[in-house]
């Protein structure tokens, strides 16, 4: 999926991907990637390495023994979850801070972690699911960075109604956060499946039928995870390929602990 040419005419900047994430994405796509290689890549960035160790030692992960190095963190949690933490931190660092954007990243951290665990239970690519969850709302961050005041007012007026948010974004900026998020994914070199997930996520289940089976599975997992983590009217959609009950059962068994507590973003502990 290529970037929509119409987006190139908009005066909205998409931030460049941090080089550590570029290298990490390439590493995660290798079948024979090793723990040591990931640890060395992360340790090359002192601030990131420190943040990873601090995050893994947080209460959310509940480790019995505190880790002292990135190597230990990767061994304890596995490459996928440490890579997910790293990507979330990279996303946070690429955009200006603020209350609305912090809420976006808090949701992203929980969604990515939950989607990866559900995907693993359903024999779907867990790293692909984790990345999809992290970047699901990345387009909101792009619009927030472009015009903080206007986008904050837009979000408040839409009252968390996804369809209303999309309509208001197109009217105000000429583009939706879904389209911008997909463009961000492609410009950062992420999988075409991740970009397709981000673009199609606000659409109806009927529209999802146009996507590939793998993207349909990601959309199904994402919809149920969102419904489990942040219940709201209209959040759950009909699933494609699995029964609603089957996925909800997995979401409930995997995501229950993730929806408790506060301050669960990367800066506070995911």
| pLDDT score at 85 | 83
Total of domains in the chain:
2
Which domain-ending residue is among 58, 86, 114? 86
What six digits make up the tokens of 86?
């790293």
Q: Within this chain, do residues 137 and 247 fall inside the same structural domain, yes or no?
A: yes
- What's the rounded Cα separation, in Å, for the pair 178 and 208? 14
Domain identity same for 106 and 237: yes
pTM comes to 0.77
Q: State both tokens at 212.
A: 């590939």
Q: What is the CATH number of the domain that holds 259?
A: 1.10.3210.10
Taking every pair of Cα atoms in the chain, the longest distance, rounded to a whole number of angstroms, is 52
Question: Do 49 and 167 sit in the same domain of this protein?
Answer: no
Confirm whether 207 is domain-assigned. yes
Q: Which structural domain, as residue segments, surrounds residue 135? A: 95-270
Domain end (from 35, 69, 86): 86
For residue 145, give the nearest of 12, 6, 8, 10 by alpha carbon.
Answer: 12
148 inside domain: yes
- Tell me, yes or no, whether 215 lies in a domain: yes
Q: Using CA atoms in the order 234, 240, 243, 249, what is the torsion angle rounded to 10 degrees?
A: -60
Is the same domain home to 106 and 142? yes
Q: What's the confidence (pLDDT) of residue 267? A: 30
In a domain, 2, yes or no: no
pLDDT score for 30: 80
Q: What is the DSSP letter of 188?
A: T
pLDDT by residue for the chain (270 residues), tens digit each? 444 555 444 567 788 888 888 888 888 878 777 888 889 988 888 888 888 888 888 876 777 788 889 999 888 888 888 888 888 888 888 888 888 888 888 888 888 888 988 898 888 888 899 999 999 999 999 999 999 999 989 988 876 678 888 999 999 888 999 999 999 998 888 889 999 999 999 998 889 989 999 999 999 999 988 887 765 444 444 444 455 566 667 667 766 544 433 333 333 222
> Of 86, 118, 139, which residue constitutes the final position of a domain?
86
Q: What is the pLDDT of residue 269?
A: 27
- Answer whether residue 74 is part of any domain: yes
**Any domain includes 112:** yes
Q: Are residues 169 and 144 in the same domain?
A: yes
User: Could you tell me if residue 11 is inside a domain?
Assistant: no
Based on the domain organization, do 78 and 118 belong to the same domain?
no
Do 166 and 235 belong together in one domain? yes
């Amino acid at each position: 999926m290529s970037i929509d040419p119409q987006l190139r005419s908009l005066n909205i900047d998409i931030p460049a991907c941090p080089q550590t994430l570029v290298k990490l994405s390439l590493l995660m796509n290798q079948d024979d990637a090793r723990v040591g290689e990931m640890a060395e890549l992360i340790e090359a960035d002192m601030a990131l390495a420190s943040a990873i160790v601090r995050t893994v030692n947080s209460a959310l992960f509940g480790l019995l023994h505190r880790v002292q190095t990135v190597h230990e963190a990767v061994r304890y949690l596995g490459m996928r979850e440490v890579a997910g933490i790293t990507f979330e931190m990279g996303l946070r660092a690429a955009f200006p801070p603020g209350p609305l954007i912090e809420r976006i990243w808090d949701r992203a951290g929980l969604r990515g972690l939950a989607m990866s665990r559900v995907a693993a239970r359903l024999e779907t690519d867990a790293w692909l699911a984790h990345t999809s969850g992290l970047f699901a709302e990345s387009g909101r961050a792009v619009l927030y960075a472009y015009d903080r005041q206007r986008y904050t007012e837009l979000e408040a007026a839409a009252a968390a109604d996804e369809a209303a948010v999309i309509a208001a974004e197109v009217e105000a900026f000429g583009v939706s956060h879904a389209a911008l998020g997909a463009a961000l994914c492609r410009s950062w070199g992420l999988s075409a499946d991740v970009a397709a997930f981000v673009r199609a996520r606000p659409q109806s289940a009927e529209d999802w039928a146009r996507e590939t089976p793998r993207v349909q599975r990601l959309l199904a997992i994402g919809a149920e995870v969102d419904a489990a983590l942040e219940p709201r009217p209209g959040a759950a959609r009909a699933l494609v390929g699995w029964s609603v009950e089957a996925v909800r059962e997995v979401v409930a068994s995997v995501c229950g602990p993730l929806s408790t507590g506060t301050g669960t973003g990367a800066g506070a502990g995911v």
